[in-house]
Amino acid sequence: MRILCKKRTLFKNLLVNAKFNIYLCGNNFIMKKIELAATRIRNSKYLSCFTGAGISVESGIPVFRGDDGVYAKYDHNLLEIRTYRRNTSESWKAVKDIFYNRFENAKPNTAHKILAEWQNRDLLKYIITQNIDNLHFEAGSSSVIEYHGNKEYFICFDCSSKFSNKEIVLVDTPPICPTCGGLLKPDFVFFGEPIPSDAARLAHEIAKKSDVHIIIGTTGEVQPASYIPFYAKKANAFIIEINPQKSRFTDSISDVFIEMKASEALIEINRIL
Ligand SMILES: [Zn+2]
């Protein structure tokens, strides 16, 4: 009986040690990846970055997709460009709630700020973002390709005048052009709209020039944006992926996958850069 108890204690201790070792190995493994990413970034000649909703979650921007996402609460059709033109009142209510009311208090977080610092040091050449939240600019970045546009601007369907958010008072009725009285549309890509040709062309060019490309906070589900890292890979860029979970990129093109939140990973990389 005593021998059995001793054996059990020994076995229990072994289990605790094994868990501890696995934990240490896991941490070491992540640190190795962070060191590798930092080395590649430091030695890069043309570093670019591709960001998605995940980088802005820590700024309080709601998650869009998935069962708990904002889109699940609205009829998808309300965000279609055709609906915005034909049933503007209903569509505008959804657009205003999702992209203006819920974004109101969002501020750039540490991840946005570290990328801006890298741009100021001329280490990071371009950020290509799928986000329309303006947070890369607010953090101090200047070279940003907004693949899906920016919610800070409005454009008139009739006279094509462009206005900043500050010039337009947003109310529950759809926004009207101060110049001609036509209907204004937020200057971001609605469902059913093409990607602005300049943004698409520039993003492609930057991806092809890159020797190191960082994917941050995106699962790669939105096309054609998700092709961008593939263009970089095709041009032999080293692909660093920072995501809290695996994505469509992880097993296909990522050379190093850092399974962390954006700001946590960038703080660690920046610390040893
Ligand atoms: Zn107008």
Is the CB of residue 214 less than 8 Å from the CB of residue 50? yes
Q: Quick check: bond before 174 cis, omega within 30?
A: no
Give pLDDT tens digits for 226-244: 999 999 999 999 999 999 9
Report CA(90)–ligand 1 centroid distance (Å): 21
Minimal CA–CA distance to 263: which of 63, 117, 104?
117
pLDDT band at residue 104 using 50, 70 and 90 as cut-offs: confident
- The Cα-based distances of 86 to 90, 100, 154, 187 in angstroms read 10, 21, 18, 18
pTM: 0.87
For the cut 90, the answer to whether the pLDDT of residue 154 exceeds it is yes
44-60+108-148+194-273 CATH choice from 3.40.50.1220, 3.30.70.380, 3.40.50.970, 2.60.120.260: 3.40.50.1220
- Catalytic one among 112, 136, 148, 213? 148
Report CA(148)–ligand 1 centroid distance (Å): 22
Cα separation, 56 vs 139, whole angstroms:
12
Respond yes or no: is residue 148 known to be catalytic: yes
Q: Which residues surround ligand 1, an ion (CB under 5 A)?
A: 156, 158-159, 161, 177, 179-180, 182
Report CA(159)–ligand 1 centroid distance (Å): 4
DSSP string, 58-96: GGTPPP-SSTTSGGGGS-GGGGBHHHHHHSHHHHHHHHH
Q: 194: phi > 0 → left, psi -120 to 50 → alpha, else beta; which?
A: beta
Fold of 62-102+150-188: SIR2/SIRT2 'Small Domain' (3.30.1600)
Cα angle value 76/248/109 (rounded, 5°) = 75
Residue range(s) occupied by CATH 3.40.50.1220 in the chain: 44-60+108-148+194-273
Cα separation, 85 vs 155, whole angstroms:
13
Report CA(78)–ligand 1 centroid distance (Å): 23
Report CA(82)–ligand 1 centroid distance (Å): 19
Q: What phi, psi does 217 have (nearest 5°)? A: 65, 45
**Per-residue confidence (pLDDT) for residue 64, from 0 to 100:** 73
Report CA(174)–ligand 1 centroid distance (Å): 13
- Kindly state the average pLDDT of the residues 104-133: 96
Residue range(s) occupied by CATH 3.30.1600.10 in the chain: 62-102+150-188
Contacts of 73 (CB under 8 A, 6+ apart): none
